[in-house]
A and B are shown apart, each in its own frame.
Chain A
Amino acid sequence: MALVLNEEQVMLKESAAGFLAEKAGVAQLRALRDSGSERGFSDEVWREMVEMGWAGIAIPEAFGGLGYGYTGLGLVLEQAGRNLSASPLQSTVLVAASVIGELGSAQQKEQLLAAIAAGDKLVSLALQEGAHHAPLQSSLRAQAQGDDYVLNGEKLLVLDASAADTFVVIARTAGEPGDEQGLSAFLVDADATGLAIAPRSMVDSRSAGALVLDGVRVPAGNLLGEAGAAWDGLSRALDVASIGFAAELLGLSTEAFERTNAYLKERKQFGRVIGSFQGLQHRAAEMFAELELARSIVLQALHAIDDGEADLALQASAAKAKLCEVAQRVTSEAIQMHGGIGMTDEHEIGFFIKRARVVQHIFGDYNYHLDRFARLNGF
């Protein structure tokens, strides 16, 4: 597919940009933070997003979605990145819906995806257990008991944990940490007996939490896909999620860069604007180059999802690794080039570096994905 946006996509991008800048920008994120909001986003704004169809933007029309594909969702996520918009777009629309789409039965998809698309349900993936993304190391146990499974263990960094109605919990029904075989995905409702949800305060002021599952009992019907066979679908869904987060990083980094470039034209020292200093000009030009490269790989990777390309894993790790690298550089330079004002909580630029590091970490950072990229390339 040609690496260009069609008219429909350009319109989507523009309307998302306008809406998010007005309703869900950095000022709103700051207000949410300062009010100590546990949900971490505004239900009202989320409602409006749902009405625009965003909750089902990548969900096929057959399941009540808009069927714009992941390229469409990626464009919205890019704008969400630019504005640091807090909403369940990532947790539910990008991640959980993809996992359900990959692993769910026809009936589960019909129910759950339709509910997500209608904005009736927030779902979040509970995967990570340690300090790092290491999906195969999952050790949370699910023991079969009659027609039920009993789940015991802990999960970390569950996005929008306080707001979610349902979790997709990755658990081991067999095998040992490190094995592909034996991983299963269970639907666990937020009000399940034995489930404790602890909100965690994260550096990006967004809502995430830890789950403790102490003998949580779910019927076998809550399995997504077959017991022990979740890995392939999960791994594909994680590739999709990584590409979506790369799109968010693209928007975030582009915005941080543009704000910095504007500051270079405004701030005066030594009797001239600091943007006239070549030491800064070249660093800015290099960042511009890196951002253009970043934009290309994100678009190519989004297309790879929609076109069902065989090298999705490679595209995903390339996109996430590159965007982690670029986001890290751009947000760090953004602070440096703002000088002292960049270190203040009052200035907005600090919000970008904070969100960047969290998104970089989620589902594998630069180190994880560059290593995987090399392995996928055979070395």
Chain B
Amino acid sequence: MSDLEQFRQDTRAWLEKNCPESMRVPVRGFDDFYNGGRNPEIDHPDQKLWCDRMAERGWTVPHWPKAYGGGGLNSEEVKILSQEMARIGARRALDSFGISMLGPALLHFGSEEQKLEHLPKIARGEIRWCQGYSEPNAGSDLASLATKAEDKGDHYVINGQKIWTSYADKADWIFCLVRTDNSGSKHEGISFVLFDMDQPGVTVRPIKLISGNSPFCETFFDNAIADKKNLVGEAGNGWTIAKYLLTHEREMISGFGAAPKKSVGQVALETIGADATGRLANSVLRQNIAQYQLDTMVFGATMKRVGDEAKAGQGLGAASSIFKYYGTELNKRRNELNLAVCGEQALGWDGEEYNGGALSRDWLRSKGNSIEGGTSEVQLNIIAKRVLGLPDA
């Protein structure tokens, strides 16, 4: 038996034994993943158990090096692990901004000390992170951010305001873009710092979303302190790190465009029925669903092609620039189709008969996909300028 085959068998056996039954049912909506942290939100006691077991093997971040709490798996093994998890319907054990955003940036730009300090805590779900990028006057034009950090020798003193900070009220630490220098162009003088939110200089005020939940906040800094050892990279070089992190954020978000397990067409057959020829009874809806499923299949082929090209050493092709834009637009289309297909069932807001309003809340939440991490319009600007070489206005 090949090593990979052996790995598959061992993984299968381990998962069978260690993944609790309760963690083999689909999450109930966007907010039902386990995110860890000092005071984790626990919807089910098995969430922490499942996370701890996976973290012990480094499998919450299977592709990270073992030294930083990862599993040290190669890409083939990572693929097998996710296939085997999918086979039994196992949920991701831990889902966090630390894993999807800060981790990759630290692995790339962090000092050895910073990696050893922060990465294992992310891997074990001990510290939950939030992203302090956007400000009231710096959204799409992120580089115009004004939150100020004053150099005080061994630390910075930070004053200013962030907004739309997802889960700032639940997070323990923040990775934050601050201005350490005002003299150059707006892209210069930005620094990337990490600090603990549990200090008197930090206040958060949750904002309620149209989906009824309050995942994001206004975040105020009033003489907040960041230790200098938690400056990532050099002072004034934060924009490069910020952009690198954004590519990972966009990659994560574009994953929402993946095809759902049960196709929308199948669900529609159940809710709407077929005509005498076996076609979905409503031909207008049928065309919309078919176009959506076609685009999902074609998007999947594109993710595969770009991945295969990268593996073959051909680099990350221009096609990767479309992922964030296309994946989020696809996810919005899917959510609109869910409404069309499920009708009244998708309009419920609360209660068991509506599964807690998961469909309507996910639908509303999906509208943010094409805003967060850089809007669709901004993605199109990037493609037009960087890929197509079209000039500025």
User: Which residues in A have some Cβ–Cβ distance to B below 8 Å?
Assistant: 2-4, 261, 264-265, 272-273, 275-278, 281-282, 284-286, 288-289, 292-297, 299-300, 318, 321-322, 370-371, 373-375, 377-379
The answer to whether B308 touches A377 (Cβ under 8 A) is no
- Chain A positions within 8 Å of B268 at CB level: 379
Indicate which residue in B291, B308, B381, B387 contacts A370 across the interface (CB closer than 8 Å). Answer: B291
Q: For the complex, what is the distance from the CA of A277 to the CA of B384, rounded to whole Å?
A: 11
Spot the interface stretch: B20-28, B80-88, B299-307: B299-307
Q: For the complex, what is the distance from the CA of A379 to the CA of B263, rounded to whole Å?
A: 10
The answer to whether B297 touches A318 (Cβ under 8 A) is yes
B295, B311, B326, B388 — most chain A CB neighbours (10 Å): B388
The answer to whether B380 touches A293 (Cβ under 8 A) is no
In the complex, how many residue pairs between chain A and chain B have their CB atoms under 8 Å apart?
Answer: 136
Q: Give B387's nearest chain A residue, CB to CB.
A: A288
Q: For the complex, what is the distance from the CA of A284 to the CA of B286, rounded to whole Å?
A: 29
The answer to whether B280 touches A275 (Cβ under 8 A) is no
Contacts A/B (CB < 8 Å), 12 sampled: A261-B389, A264-B390, A275-B391, A281-B381, A293-B298, A293-B301, A293-B302, A296-B319, A370-B294, A374-B265, A374-B293, A379-B290
Query: Is there a chain A Cβ closer than 8 Å to B274's Cβ?
Result: yes
User: Which residues in B have some Cβ–Cβ distance to A below 8 Å?
Assistant: 263, 265-266, 268-269, 274, 278-280, 286-287, 289-291, 293-295, 297-299, 301-302, 304-305, 308-309, 311-312, 314, 318-319, 322, 325-326, 377, 379-381, 383-385, 387-393
By secondary structure, the B interface counts as helix
Known interface pairs A265-B389, A370-B294, A379-B280. Does A295 touch B384 (Cβ–Cβ under 8 Å)? no
Indicate which residue in B278, B379, B388 contacts A261 across the interface (CB closer than 8 Å). Answer: B388
The answer to whether A321 touches B266 (Cβ under 8 A) is no
The answer to whether B388 touches A296 (Cβ under 8 A) is no
Known interface pairs A284-B390, A293-B299, A299-B305. Does A374 touch B326 (Cβ–Cβ under 8 Å)? no
Q: Give B264's nearest chain A residue, CB to CB.
A: A379
The answer to whether A289 touches B322 (Cβ under 8 A) is yes
By secondary structure, the A interface counts as helix
- Chain B positions within 8 Å of A377 at CB level: 263, 265, 290, 293
Indicate which residue in B278, B293, B309, B387 contacts A4 across the interface (CB closer than 8 Å). Answer: B309
The answer to whether B392 touches A276 (Cβ under 8 A) is yes
The answer to whether A292 touches B311 (Cβ under 8 A) is no
Q: For the complex, what is the distance from the CA of A299 to the CA of B280, rounded to whole Å?
A: 30
- Chain A positions within 8 Å of B379 at CB level: 285
Q: Give B376's nearest chain A residue, CB to CB.
A: A282
A4, A289, A300, A375 — most chain B CB neighbours (10 Å): A289
